[in-house]
Chain A
């Protein structure tokens, strides 16, 4: 079983839709959870960062972590064409020296005007 599973899509939605992106993981040691956005020909850009279980909101973006189910989500409200990108989930353990980020394969999102 892969450590992090993420549906690669592609996912195509109309402008204004609510988008739900998800990852599941198997390693219960993961404590920090991130979402990155990667535009074509660019590097990943950090969008959201959460610790342990719970919700975090930033503008149109909401990140949710459910550690009991080993499931994380990113919701995008009122999606815009500029949200079209690949979204990568990433996670790591806690403690000094826990450098390794484990990534999902990414979900490619297209928001159609």
Chain B
């Protein structure tokens, strides 16, 4: 089975400060990991992914995430938050040995960046 946890319903950060949105996962094999962002009244947009290779992955809009196999984590980070980063963020995991194309999504974390 595969599962993903986003332990924080909401993260608040001041504009210009670094931000972290947490994600931990569980798979039976090796993971494919993803972050998506959902702006109000919009569908989900792909931000970044970890498939293999470097543990630090860079994505759209200045976001990055670090794959940590020992801690089974894939936290999303950005060095300097913008008010426009305020949105709902979803982590997703897929087991690459399962032979399935279907990821499991976390419950989402609402990021609020204060001016």
The answer to whether A and B interact is: no
